[in-house]
Amino acid sequence: MEPESLSREDLLRHIAELNAETLSLRERLRQAADQSDWAAGAMKARTRLLNERVKELDCICRAVRIFRDPALRGDQRIGRIVDLLPRAWQHPDLACARARIGQRDFCTQGFRETPWLQRETILARGRPEGIVEVRYLKELPAADEGPFLREERALLKVVAELLGAVCESAPRPGP
């Protein structure tokens, strides 16, 4: 279309069509940007969750290596396994841990009793031998179980079983 050959009405109609097409393209571009933002947010959330699972699996692998280390005594194994726990939790800088077996405590540096905790019983030969717990040093936003994730509960159960195996394989730590 040559602009000189168009009537005023044709030009206005053509301008209106171009404006409508521009608006449509802007809307499609906005939708694509929204989808991209959503995908980036979903990827970030999924990456965070995967990083948490990696920390938990790393804790289990390291704990098993400690358990199998023939150079360590039972109480050394327990202490080293307890030291692994805070790093595997969602807020490692605010976490501390303790295992209490008999009358003996194995605590991470900076351990304090607080109301925010997860605890599991340590069983050896089917009998309670003690407890293992992870605590947060301050109140944190709610998650699955207070401030804790359900996967952290599962990890603590695995660690309690491993500590029970340590108790079964070594003489009971003394007072």
pLDDT at residue number 100: 98
Q: Which amino acid is at 132?
A: V
User: Residue 92 sits in which domain range?
Assistant: 37-169
**Six-digit token pair at 165?**
């195996």
Domain assignment present for 1: no
Which residues in the chain come in under a pLDDT of 70? 1-4, 170-175
The CATH number of residue 154's host domain is 3.30.450.40
Counting DSSP H helices and E strands in the chain, the numbers are 3, 4
The pLDDT value given to residue 68: 94
The number of domains in the chain is 1
**pLDDT for the residue 39:** 79
Judge whether 57 lies within some domain. Answer: yes
In a domain, 143, yes or no: yes
β-pairing verdict for 104-107 and 117-124: unpaired
> Phi-psi category of 86—alpha, beta or left, where left has phi over 0 and alpha has psi -120 to 50?
alpha
**Is 5 domain-assigned?**
no
Tell me whether residue 87 is in a domain.
Answer: yes
Tokens of 112: 């304090």
pLDDT at 4: 66
